[in-house]
Amino acid sequence: MLVSAKDMLVKAKEGHYAVGQFNINNLEWTKSILLTAQELNSPVILGVSEGAGKYMTGFSTVAAMVREMDKNLGITVPVALHLDHGTYDGCYKCIEAGFTSIMFDGSHYDIDENVAKTTELVNVAHHLGLSIEAEVGSIGGEEDGVVGMGECADPDECKRIADLGVDMLAAGIGNIHGKYPEGWPGLRFDVLDAIQQKTGVMPLVLHGGTGIPADMIKKAITLGVSKINVNTECQLSFADATRKYVEAGKDLEGKGFDPRKLLAPGSDAIKATVKEKMELFGSVGKA
């Protein structure tokens, strides 16, 4: 059931668990994530980066695929279709395409411009029933061409953006997209704590979910994180399972080259990763 992310995140914050955002790249990704959410009776957010949207030939293609797949698979758990790290123009394109949620990443603007653009997009999104995520303090690393320096967010700036009425707030707390480098010092819980104290009930978003140790994830949830984004980890599981299939020569046995067979181990691997994360985030049974 396609919905905005607002209610599921309010419930998650109150219930002290987090909803996973899993990024999608194609049909296999989407189907694997939807089926796992349904099986585990968990709410879920499908994240679409601008690069992935382009790859899938446009946001309207993505919205049509997700909407029809949701219906044809009989998905009853809440599913939000969310733009990940959206530009100002990208937000409008996703609104028009029928997404149910957007992220405006204004973290590379100065705070006044971030506030101005976020204010405008909050009004438009809410008028149309979409939820909206904003960002303060960039997430480190690179995701689909979006590069962040990884500075920690200023809690006062977080409060300014939270007060605009956004539904969820991404704040840099030492998190990084992609694999964490050797010697990464870990999440800045002092910064997260200060942000939560300033922003109160606002659901906070932890980007860069790949590779964050389970104890840090659990602690972040106790400090107000209600949405956790995972992208690279599904890609790694998919690639690993596909490599094993090919290296074992399975594509050369019978009709093992049939894409429905060739992509099956990778799809199952995505399902296993999503399940593991939903269990860790505590969203199982919370639909």
Active site residues: 84
Of residues 11, 13, 177, 271, which one binds ligand 13P by CB under 6 A? 177
Q: Is 207 in the site for ligand 13P (CB under 6 A)?
A: yes
Taking CB under 6 A as the rule, does residue 208 contact ligand 13P?
yes
Dihedral sign for Cα atoms in the order 15, 174, 200, 165: negative
Q: Which residues contact 19 (CB under 8 A, 6 or more apart)?
A: 5, 8, 9, 12, 42, 43, 44, 45, 226, 227, 228, 281, 283
Q: Which stretch binds ligand 13P (CB under 6 A): 109-117, 205-213, 214-222, 271-279?
A: 205-213
Q: CB of residue 228 vs ligand 13P: minimum separation in angstroms?
A: 8
- Smallest CA-to-CA distance from 14 within 274, 221, 273 is with 221
Nearest approach, Cβ of residue 190 and ligand 13P (Å): 21
From 21, 7, 41, select the one nearest 283 (Cα to Cα): 41
Cβ count near 264 (within 10 Å): 17
Site for ligand 13P in 36-75 (CB under 6 A): 47
Token reading at 287? 């639909």
Nearest to ligand 13P of 118, 245 (CB atom): 118
Query: What's the CA angle centered on 229, arms 225 and 233, to 5 degrees?
Result: 130
The region, left, alpha or beta by phi > 0 then psi within -120 to 50, assigned to residue 43 is: beta
Binding to ligand 13P by CB under 6 A, coded x per residue (else -) over 13-42, reads: ----------x-------------------
Give the footprint of ligand 13P on residues 111-150 (CB under 6 A). 143
Q: Smallest distance from the beta carbon of 125 to ligand 13P, in angstroms? A: 18
Alpha-carbon gap, residue 55 to 59, rounded angstroms: 10
Least Cβ distance, residue 146 to ligand 13P (angstroms): 8
Footprint of ligand 13P on 221-240 (CB under 6 A): 229-233
**Residue found by looking up tokens 């200023």 in the block:** 154
Tell me which stretch binds ligand 13P (CB under 6 A): 8-16, 66-74, 201-209, 267-275: 201-209
- The SS3 of residue 19 is strand
Nearer to ligand 13P, 84 or 245 (CB): 84
* Interface ranges with ligand 13P (CB under 6 A): 23, 47, 84-85, 143, 177-178, 207-210, 229-233
